[in-house]
């Protein structure tokens, strides 16, 4: 088994993957007639986009450019608190414009590089960046997949969507920045690792040139062609980059799509949801927030759209649902997998669950 990538060999110790695999086995035994439907349950454009972004960001990371960028930022940042506030705010801003997963693919590797150089708490910073993309991305219809679905489903206008979500997103960001200021000390940054300034310019140039075309092709629903181009270039120039991406994350996402969509499609689940009195805004809001904890906020949004046309309340519920448990948002999983720290799950929930409780109350009051 030594020929397998490290990320696949480590899956036997990945609790989330093992739970998803166990649930898939249960579904296979209980519903064998649906096995042929499984490939159709996977959102392959999402998997393709995720694969391409993993390759491109791994290329930038392996080029050594992030270490230089990290040292440049440290030299111009006075304290750990200021650095944390800057990173969290930048992550939130990027998520509004480039979607939450792209923001994480840009910011988490840069953050890890800075933390190695200055001995900052990487786990806590990445956890706060995961909260930041959930808080920032809820503002715009292109910020995350559930907003994109709701925007397209009801054709409610870009400006109208932003105006509707502004109070919730604004409060979430203000609270998060205040929490960031309290969670990180004002002690000065100190550089403990200089390293060399060598950059693999070929790898960096390839990633930079391919990045925008890949994003555009993915946005135009031609992600397959974009992924083919990215893989072809890196297999020729630096095939070790392709081998070293987190293949385990991709497999985990495939299982997640299968398991959650099978679960959401069960008659018992649909009957239960239908009996929750979703014609009442507070019931619909609470269902969106809590259902996201079990099946993630994108499937929750799709499911609730079958029972209600109140897109504002659905958007409030599923976006608040991105906080809380790890499964609340796929962005949470991406952030922690990019971090690569097995003990980060406990730290994530230490911050995310109270934040979910507070934002749940805020969203309810704004209704």
In this prediction the pTM is 0.79
pLDDT tens, N- to C-terminus, the chain (367 residues): 444 566 566 677 777 788 889 999 999 999 998 999 999 988 888 788 888 888 888 888 788 787 777 777 777 787 889 989 989 999 999 899 877 888 898 889 889 888 888 778 889 999 999 999 999 999 988 888 888 788 877 877 888 899 999 999 999 999 999 999 999 988 887 766 555 567 888 888 998 899 889 878 877 778 899 999 999 999 998 888 898 888 888 888 888 888 878 887 788 887 887 788 888 999 999 999 999 998 888 888 888 887 888 999 999 999 999 999 998 998 998 899 888 887 888 999 999 999 999 999 999 999 8
Q: Note the helical H segments in the chain.
A: 6-9, 15-30, 38-41, 44-63, 65-75, 80-98, 100-118, 122-137, 145-154, 158-183, 201-219, 223-237, 239-243, 247-264, 267-274, 281-295, 297-304, 311-320, 330-339, 344-366
Rounded CA-CA distance 355/88 in Å is: 15
For residues 216 and 223, what is the distance between their CA atoms, to the nearest angstrom? 9
Burial-class residue 184 by CB neighbours within 10 Å (0-12, 13-18, 19+). Answer: buried
Nearest in space to 121 (alpha carbons), one of 66, 89, 83: 83
Residue closest to 250 by CA, chosen among 338, 132, 145, 146: 338
Whose CA is closest to 301, among 132, 141, 159, 97? 141
d(CA 212, CA 202): 17
Residue 342's CB is within 10 A of a number of other CB atoms, namely: 12
């Amino acid at each position: 088994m030594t020929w397998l990538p490290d990320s696949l060999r480590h899956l036997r110790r990945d609790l989330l993957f093992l739970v998803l695999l166990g649930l898939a086995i249960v579904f296979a035994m209980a519903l064998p007639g649906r096995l042929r439907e499984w490939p159709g349950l996977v959102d392959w454009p999402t998997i393709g986009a995720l694969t391409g972004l993993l390759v491109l960001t791994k290329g930038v990371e392996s080029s050594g450019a992030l270490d230089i960028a990290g040292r440049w930022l440290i030299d111009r940042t006075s304290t750990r608190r200021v650095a944390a506030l800057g990173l969290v705010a930048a992550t939130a801003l990027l998520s509004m414009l480039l979607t939450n997963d792209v923001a994480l693919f840009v910011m988490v590797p840069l953050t890890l590089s800075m933390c190695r150089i200055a001995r900052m708490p990487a786990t806590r910073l990445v956890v706060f960046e995961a909260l930041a993309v959930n808080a920032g991305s809820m503002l715009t219809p292109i910020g995350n997949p559930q907003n994109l679905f709701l925007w397209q489903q009801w054709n409610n206008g870009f400006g109208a969507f932003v105006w509707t979500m502004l109070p919730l997103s604004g409060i979430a960001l203000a609270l998060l920045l205040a929490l960031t200021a309290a969670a990180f000390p004002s002690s000065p940054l100190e550089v403990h690792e200089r390293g060399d300034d060598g950059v693999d310019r070929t790898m960096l140039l390839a990633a930079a040139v391919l990045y925008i075309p890949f994003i555009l092709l993915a946005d135009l629903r031609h992600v397959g062609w974009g992924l083919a181009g990215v893989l072809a270039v890196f297999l020729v120039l630096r095939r070790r980059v392709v081998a070293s991406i987190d293949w385990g994350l991709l497999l985990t996402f495939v299982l997640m799509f299968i398991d959650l969509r099978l679960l959401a499609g069960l008659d018992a689940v649909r009957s239960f949801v239908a009996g929750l009195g979703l014609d009442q805004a507070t019931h619909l809001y609470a269902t969106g927030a809590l259902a996201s904890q079990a099946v993630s906020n994108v499937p929750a949004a799709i499911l609730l759209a079958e029972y209600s046309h109140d897109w504002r309340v659905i958007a409030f519920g599923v976006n608040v649902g991105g906080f809380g448990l790890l499964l609340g948002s796929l962005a949470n999983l991406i952030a922690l997998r990019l971090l690569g720290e097995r003990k980060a799950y406990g730290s994530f929930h230490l911050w995310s669950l109270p934040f979910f409780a507070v934002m749940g109350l805020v969203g309810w009051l704004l209704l």
